[in-house]
Structure 1
Amino acid sequence: MKRRSTLGISVFMMGIGYLGATQYIPISLAVLIFYTCPFFVAIISRFTENEPITPRRLTAIIIAFIGLSLALKVQTTGGLQLLGIMYAVIAAIGFASFVTVSSLMLKTADPQAVLLHSMAGGTLLFVLFFVLTNGVEIIGTRTGWLKVSGSGIAIAFAYITFFAGMKIIGPVKATMILNIEPVLTICLAAILFGEHLANIQVFGAVLVIGGIVLITRTPKT
């Protein structure tokens, strides 16, 4: 029961940390800091599931992280607010704890039950937060509710497939594969909205894919 409560807190940390970070620092930097989560997952899983931190695995994580920084064209010029960085780190730690705790629970619990408890706990904390901060007014319109409902369905589907994958390949590899998400985002932006991708972004995307391939081919032992 304690683990299920932790999952709700982790979901809340992810959401509030990520949204809070984007208010103070560039979105690209917030995303990059959030995707330090594979490092946290690798360290935690070393103790919780005896997942080895091999040189090859660590190299793959570093390569993907460097590639992500290039693909996102992270801008760090100018003054960066420490509060925004702290928010992003909270989001990364929240996701890392969510992955590692849920991975342990999936060994004995039903995936649907784990998902239901984590989403329900996180939702309750979000509702409480919005009520206390008058954030409900933001989604008080029909359009606002449609956006929230649509994103909720998408997130639920994403978690279902993520749990299924994590149960097969483990928390470290599953989290590492998530690095492809920002790469797909910028690629879709180029295809759908005609945004131009610089050569450095393409090179960064190749590094991310290379890191993912490297770690997924790494033996467990």
Structure 2
Amino acid sequence: MNHYYKGVLLVVISAACFALMPIFAVFAYRGNANVITILFLRFGLAAVLLFAYLAWKKRLVAVDRQVLFKLMIIGAILYTLQSSLYFLSVKYINVSLQAMLFYTYPIFVAILATVLFKESFTKILLLSICVSLAGMVLVLGTSFENINLLGAFLALGAALVYSLYINMANRLVRNTPSDLATAYICLFSSLAFCLLGSFTHNLNFDFSPSAWWPIVGIAFFSTTVSIVTLFRGMEILGSTRAAIISIIEPVITITISSLLFHDKLGGLQWIGGVLVLTGAYLVVKFRS
């Protein structure tokens, strides 16, 4: 296979695996697994798999204590908060709507980079913000009668925290291999959920056996495989091309959700979703 198309295929596989995560979450909830338990298992299993992969590839190297501390802050606080908001949102709004709202995060990434790190504010960024905001208005509607506002705010909150996580991770651990950094972030996130679950008595493994397959699916496909294939694809294509291809992620989520759960979105919501994705595409395309 052509080297370029191999990179494209790897990023598509990554996007498809990420896209399955809210689908898996719905099935895990149906098996009576709670958010904290799901996320503890997700990150714990993923950390084991990622460290095993790195050891197999002989890429498991020592990490400086200062970098390790930064990874702990990113994993135990930012990624833990983002994951909690993301998974909670699926409990209140349908998966299709959640996917549309969460994919505003490239816009937030650009805004935060401008506000916090003084990156240039371009006309393209302004256009992408306007397009995405127009899309959000159409997705949510103006009356909010049929929208669970808590779920919508949780999804947008997840997008905002994720954008902060991306900006901070890119700057704090820039010289650390991405897959190694991710393995440590998963490890620290799992420890955070373990402590949180123990303290709140929400770490509960007394759920239906039917919840195990979606939890393993989240850890293996939506975390480990998606991360490994994304980084391999980025090595071939570069981060900008990989990010543009990854915009198919919410499209895959919405398609599968419509088939499995019969999620119904109105015509204006579909138009709004296209505008949100267009805004994301613009900011990724012209921000390299």
* TM-aligned CA distance change 1:114 to 1:74, over 3 Å: farther
- Asked if 2 retains the 8 angstrom alpha-carbon contact of 1:21 and 1:30, the reply is yes
**What corresponds to 1:108 in structure 2?**
175
Seq. identity, % = 24
The equivalent position to 1:7 in structure 2, one of 59, 64, 74, is 74
Normalising by structure 2, we get a TM-score of 0.57
String of CA shifts for 1:39-73, please: whole Å, max 9, x gaps: 43223323666532212122113313433553577
Counterpart position of 1:155:
223
The number of aligned residues is 215
Once the two structures are superposed, the pairs formed by residues 13-32 of structure 1 within 5 Å of their partners are: 13-21=81-89, 26-27=93-94
Counterpart selection for 1:168 from 235, 238, 254: 238
- Which consecutive unaligned segments of at least 5 residues does structure 2 have? 1-67
CA RMSD, Structure 1 to Structure 2 (Å): 3.9
| Residues in 2 aligned to 1:39 and 1:209: alpha-carbon distance in whole angstroms | 10
* 1:54 match: 122
Deviation at 1:139, TM superposition (A): 5.8
CA contact under 8 A between 1:57 and 1:215: conserved in structure 2?
Answer: yes
Corresponding residue to 1:181 among 249, 256, 267: 249
User: CA, structure 1 residues 119+104, in 2 after alignment: closer, same or farther (shift >3 Å)?
Assistant: same
Indicate how the Cα distance of structure 1 residues 216 and 96 shifts in structure 2: closer, same or farther if over 3 A, else same: closer
Residue 197 of structure 2 is matched in structure 1 by: 130
CA separation in 2, counterparts of 1:19 and 1:94?
A: 13
Residues 86 and 30 (structure 1), Cα distance of their counterparts in 2 relative to 1, 3 Å cut: same
Q: Kindly provide the amino acid, as one letter, of the partner of residue 103 in structure 1.
A: N
1:151 Cα deviation after fit: 0.6
Structure 1 residues 187, 22: closer, same or farther in 2, change over 3 A? Answer: closer
Partner of 2:36: none
3-state DSSP of counterpart to 1:137 = coil
1:99 correspondence with 2:166: yes
Q: Given residue 238 of structure 2, which amino acid in structure 1 is its aligned partner?
A: I
- CA distance in structure 1 between the aligned counterparts of 2:141 and 2:215, rounded to whole angstroms: 29
Q: 1:26 to 1:193 in 2, by over 3 A?
A: closer
Higher RCO, 1 vs 2 (CA within 8 Å, ≥6 residues apart): 2
Gaps of 5+ in 1: none
Is the contact between residue 110 and residue 283 of structure 2 (CA under 8 Å) also seen in structure 1? no
Relative to structure 1, is the Cα distance of residues 12 and 217 closer, same or farther in structure 2, using a 3 angstrom cutoff? Answer: closer
